[in-house]
Amino acid sequence: MSQLNGICDNYKKVKSPKDLSSPNLTVLIMKVVDCIGLYCPEPVFMARKAIEDANVGEIIEIHADDPASEQDIPVLINKLGQELLKVEKDGDVFKFVVRISRKVR
């Protein structure tokens, strides 16, 4: 796994909420953005950078443990016109799965 500024190439399959009716459909996580241990506004900056760098159709997953991320990251994703596929909380860590719907600059 290569890592560059908290953004990892990490290929992982997860079920999309829209796919729950069909257990055979999965999405491929193409990048994981690790914001663990960072506090506002850094997780938002890193998420935006990852979204800007991603290609249309890619799926990224953002991990953050800052409590403000629970609200801030979905607002960012919506504001940038991307698709939030899944949000889950694993202990203190929020995981946001995002499909890149359009190019952002």
Q: Active-site positions?
A: 40
| 3-class SS letters over 30-55 | EEEEEECCCCCCHHHHHHHHHHHHCC
Q: Scan for tokens 């698709």, then name that residue.
A: 83
Q: Which of 56, 50, 102 lies closest to 73 in space, CA to CA?
A: 50
- In angstroms, the Cα distances linking 92 to 67, 71, 72 are 8, 14, 16
The DSSP bridge pattern shows strands 27-35 and 59-64 to be parallel
